[in-house]
Amino acid sequence: MHVLGILERDSSDELLDQVVDRVVDRLSRAGRVGVVRYDATIADGTHESLTPGGDVTYDLGADGDWTAAGTGLSVGDALDALATDCEYAVVVGVSTLRYPSIVVGAADEPSAAGTVLTSVASASDLEEDDLFDALERHEPYETLESLVADVKRSPEADQAGAIATFTGRVRAKDDPDDERTEYLEFEKYEGVAQRRMAALREDLESRDGVYEVVMYHRTGVVKDGEDIVFVVVLAGHREEAFRTVEDGINRLKDEVPLFKKEVTVEDEFWVHEQSQ
């Protein structure tokens, strides 16, 4: 699922709604769209995927058939709920969102934490097709549940009796006395990493009894306790599924060029440099 933020900067609610409607209309031509709205007026300044705060609602489309809401619901919770069924999510009102965003209104004011794809002063300024192409080039939002849902939709799912998964996460400490790791930061060797991942997936799927393999590795900052990497295997039996999951994560770490920086409470270093 691709996530797009929409931020209001010194503009009217009417203009914001017009832009949201145009964006949702364009994205809905390519897939199902969820809309998440965050009311910062009663929020406690929380990060979108950490402590719940404020008023969060989400629905399908600009005028969805159903809506979920609650002050105990974080934007991250809403994205997790939408990720299994939606190709796109539009998040309105979250300046700390790490995903690409549109700024509606004054472009020279502080904007989003992630990449700003465009700034518009009116709804007519929005180039929907250019925005769509730019969004598609950014990393999607995936969860273990969304990847499992993907493989369950495989044309060969009727022959599969097993789904095995692996989740890698940021470990705070190796030992109780170690300095606490605050976050890891991953960089990808663009182009090469995608080709290596695709080749690895194709090789694993060529095995007898293996029907589909999905692998996903986050880039950028991944905080203590957050998930980094997923491997999901759809197979005929548990033996092939378990073996392929183990080989998949081992080979991903060995063959796909991803660079990791570790930041602790006392220090920061690129992991490959420390091991030299």
pLDDT digits (tens, 9 = 90+) for 88-131: 999 988 877 888 999 998 655 556 667 899 989 888 999 999 99
Q: DSSP 3-state assignment of 39?
A: strand
- For residue 108, what pLDDT is reported? 59
Q: Could you tell me if 244 and 185 are in contact, meaning their C-beta atoms sit under 8 angstroms apart?
A: no
Pair 215, 266 in one domain: yes
**Residue 3 clears pLDDT 70, i.e. is over it:** yes
Pair 118, 181 in one domain: no
Q: Which of 10-14, 101-105, 141-145 has the lowest mean pLDDT?
A: 10-14
Paired with 219 in beta bridges are: none
Pair 94, 182 in one domain: no
Q: What is the dihedral of CA 96, 101, 102, 106, to 10 degrees?
A: 30
Q: pLDDT class for 54, splitting at 50, 70, 90?
A: very low
- For residue 65, what pLDDT is reported? 41
Q: Count of residues for the chain?
A: 276
Q: DSSP 3-state assignment of 218?
A: coil
Q: Could you tell me if 115 and 138 are in contact, meaning their C-beta atoms sit under 8 angstroms apart?
A: yes
- For residue 212, what pLDDT is reported? 97
- Segment 212-229 shows an average pLDDT of 93
Taking CA atoms, 208 is separated from 59, 151, 162, 175, 200, in Å, by 41, 17, 14, 40, 15
Looking up residue 172, the CATH number of its domain turns out to be 3.90.1170.40
Q: pLDDT class for 76, splitting at 50, 70, 90?
A: confident
Q: pTM to 2 decimals?
A: 0.80
Domain end position, chosen among 81, 115, 136: 136
Q: What is the mean pLDDT of the chain?
A: 83
Tell me which range, 78-92, 116-130, 187-201, 228-242, is most confidently predicted by mean pLDDT: 228-242
Q: Could you tell me if 145 and 80 are in contact, meaning their C-beta atoms sit under 8 angstroms apart?
A: yes
- For residue 182, what pLDDT is reported? 85
**Residue 63 clears pLDDT 70, i.e. is over it:** no
- Segment 71-89 shows an average pLDDT of 82
Token pair of 180, please? 């606490």
Domain boundaries, position 196:
144-274
Pair 104, 194 in one domain: no
Pair 125, 191 in one domain: no
Report the C-alpha gap between 36 and 46 in whole angstroms: 16
Q: Which of 71-75, 171-175, 221-225 has the lowest mean pLDDT?
A: 71-75
Share of the chain above pLDDT 70, in %: 81
Pair 117, 180 in one domain: no
- Closest by CA to 48, choosing from 91, 104, 16, 103, is 91
| Enclosing H/E stretch for 243 | helix 238-255
Pair 127, 156 in one domain: no
Q: Could you tell me if 33 and 27 are in contact, meaning their C-beta atoms sit under 8 angstroms apart?
A: yes
Paired with 105 in beta bridges are: 9
> φ and ψ at 18, to 5 degrees?
-65, -45
Pair 202, 128 in one domain: no
147-167 tens-digit pLDDT: 999 999 999 999 999 999 999
